[in-house]
Chains A and B, each alone.
Chain A
Amino acid sequence: MATTKLMGLDKVSGVKRPKSIFLNLTFIIPAVVLLVAMIMAIFAPLLAPYPYDQIALTDRLMPPAFMEGGSTAHILGTDLVGRDILSRLIYGAQISLSVALMVIVITAGVGTALGIVAGYLGGRTDGFLMRVTDISLAFPAILIALLFAATIGPGYWTVVIAISMLGWAPYARLIRGEALKLRETDFVAQARIIGTSPVRIMVRHIFPNIINPLIIMSTLAVGMVILTEAVLSYLGAGIPPPAASWGNMVNDGRSLLDVAWWISTFPGVAIGLVVMAGNFMGDWLRDKLDPRLRQI
C-alpha cells in the first residue's frame, strides 16, 4: 500500500541521516568538547588529582609541567596559594556548567510559559506581557545582575537568580512569535472547534511545535550564561572563594598575569572552548531542525 512505500522511503533517508551527522565536523568537535566538559563536571571528585581547596604554600605559583620549573605533580601548575589548577579547572566545570544548566532551565521555562500565554491569548495579556519583556530587554543585564548579587551577597543561587532575572525575556519574545503563528493554524482552529480548553491547546498543540526553536535557543544560551557567570565572578560578585568556577579562576590570576599567566589562561581557554562549542552546536541544530523536515 501507499503507506508501506512511504515508510520504505523514510527508512532510506533514515539510513542516510546519521552518516551525515558523523561526517560533519561542525557537529562532532563541539559535541566532544561539551561531552568532555560534562564528564569533568559529573566525575570531578574522581578525576581531580587534588581537592579544589587544598592549599600547599610550598608549591606556590608553580608553572605547568611543560615549562621549566614545572612538575608532573601539577600538570597545569598552581596558583598563588599552591592550589592545583587542573583540579580547580575540573571542579570549576561542575559549578560553571551547573549554573548554565540551572539558568537555562529557569529562563527557558519562564520565557516559554509567558511566550505561549502571550502569543496564544493575545490582546491585553499579550500587550502587558510584551511590555514587561521589552522593559526587561532594555535593562543592561550584567548591571542588574551585579546590583542584585551585590545586594544579596555572592553565592551559587545568587548567581543563578541574578542571571535568570532578565534572561527569560529573549525566550518570551521568540516563543511568543511562534505561538502567534501557531494560533492561526488549522489544527489549532480544529482543536477550538472540538472544544479543547485553552490550557490544553497551549500544552498539547502549541508547546510541542515550538520545541525546535526552544532547543536551538537553549544551546546558544550555554555560552552566554557561562560568560555572564565569568563576568560576575571576575567582578567579584560571582561564586565566592574557595569554591572554583571558571570565572573566579580567571579573576584570581588577573593581577598575576605577567608572573603566572597559567592561572587565568587555562580557565579562560576552557570558557572559550565551551562557549564556542555551544554556539556551533546551536548553529548545527538550527540547520538540522529549521527546514521543518517533519512537516513534509
Chain B
Amino acid sequence: MADVLLEGCDLTKHYPIKKGFLQRTVGWVRAVDGISFTIERGKTLSLVGESGAGKTTTAKAVLLQEKLTSGSILFEGRDLRKFSRSQLAREYRPSLGSVQQNPWSSMNPRMRVRDIVAEPLVVNTKKSKGQIRSRVVELLEQVGLRADHVDQYPHEFSGGQRQRIAVARALALNPSLVILDEPVSALDVSIRAQIMNLLKDLQTKSNLSYLVIAHNLATVRYMSHTVAIMYLGQIVEYGGAEELFKRPLHPYTKALISASLLRLPEDEEKGRKQIILSGEMPSPLNPPPGCRFHTRCTEAASTCSQEAPPLRKVGANHYVACLRF
C-alpha cells in the first residue's frame, strides 16, 4: 500500500434548512453525501464537478472550516475526531496549506507582502522576527519572486504574481498537504501554465500532497495523479488520472470530458459525437432517487431511477458508480 497521508472515510455534510420563528429544521441540504478518498504523500488528488457538487465543502471539512455531519478524516492514520483542540492546532493545522481561487481577494489589501506571507508563522510558531524575515525571503524566492518585493502591497502585483504570494503563504509552515481551490482558474490563460509548473516543481521538491478543486479538466489532467469526479455530493468515478481520462466509464465523466475538448474536423469523420448534457443539476435539497445522475444521463435505463449504484471497482485503481458496470 502506498504512503497514505490523508484519508476521508464516508464523509457527509448535511446543512439544516431552518424556517420560521422557532427555527425548526424543515429539510437538509445534502452538500456532501458519503464520499471517501485517499491522498497519498507527494501525490495530487483532484475533485472535479459542477458548482454545487460538494467539492468546496469537502475541502472546507479538511481545512476544519466545516464540521462534518458524519464520517471521519484520518490524518497519517489517526482520526481527527480523536484530536483535542490544541492537538489540532499544534499537530494538524500546521501541516496544511491553502491557496484560494481569487488572488485579488485572498489578501488583505492593507498588509505588506512580508506580513501576508509571515502570518502563518506569526500565528503558529514562536520564531523570532529575524527568523521570520529570512523565512519570508526564502519562501518568496522559492515561488519565483524577489526579496525586494516584501515591502510592497498586493495591489502592486499582477494576478500571477499574487498567486505566487498566495503559494508562498501556503508553504510558510512546511505543510505536507496543500489544498488548492481552483488555483489557476482566476488567472489569465497564459499565466496558468507557469503557476501549474511552479506547483508541480514544489511538489516534487518538497514531496507535497495536493488536494485540488477544479472545473477545468485540462488543469486537472496536467496536475493530478488521482481524480474524483463528483456529482451532487457523491463521487461517481474515481481513479488514476491517466486511466480515467483515457477510458472514462461513467456517462457524466464522458460528458464532462467531451464538453471540455476542442471539436476537431476529424471527430466528425470518425463519428465521435459531442455529449451535451441537458438541464441543471437537481437540488441537493431533494436529490433524485436511484442514481442521482439519471435525470440527465444519456444512457439511463429504467432501473437507474430505482437503484442507487455503489462505487464499484472496475480496474486496478478505477472505481465507478454506475449500474452499467
Contacts and interface: CB of A to CB of B under 8 A. Distances in A.
Contacts of A3: 149, 152, 156-158, 161
A191 interface: yes
Interface in B139-153: 149, 152-153
Residues of B in contact with A, size category: 20 to 34
Contacts of B106: 186-187, 190
A189 B65 contact: yes
Given A186-B105, A194-B119, A194-B123, A294 B155 contact: yes
Contacts of A181: none
Among B123, B158, B169: residue with most chain A CB under 10 A: B123
Interface string B109-124: 1110000000110011
Residues of A in contact with B, size category: 20 to 34
Contact of B110 (A2, A186, A208): A208
A9 to B, nearest CB: 10
A12 B89 CA distance: 46
B108 A193 contact: no
Contacts of B63: 193
Binding site of B, secondary structure by majority: helix, strand, loop or mixed? loop
Given A3-B149, A208-B108, A195 B123 contact: yes
B102 interface: yes
A286 interface: no
Nearest to B120: A194
A200 interface: yes
A153 to B, nearest CB: 44
B97 to A, nearest CB: 9
B123 A200 contact: yes
Nearest to A296: B155
Interface in B51-109: 63-65, 89, 93, 96, 98, 100, 102, 105-109
A196 interface: yes
Contacts of B153: 294
Among A187, A189, A192, A294: residue with most chain B CB under 10 A: A187
Interface of B: 63-65, 89, 93, 96, 98, 100, 102, 105-111, 119-120, 123-124, 149, 152-153, 155-158, 161, 169
16 contacts: A3-B149, A3-B152, A3-B158, A187-B107, A187-B108, A189-B65, A189-B100, A191-B119, A194-B93, A194-B120, A194-B123, A194-B124, A196-B123, A209-B108, A295-B109, A295-B155
- Nearest 4 Cβ contacts at the A-B interface: A208-B110, A186-B105, A186-B106, A187-B108
Given A3-B156, A208-B111, 20 more contacts: A6-B156, A7-B156, A187-B106, A189-B100, A190-B107, A190-B169, A192-B65, A193-B64, A193-B96, A194-B93, A194-B120, A194-B124, A195-B93, A195-B120, A196-B119, A204-B111, A209-B108, A211-B110, A294-B155, A296-B155
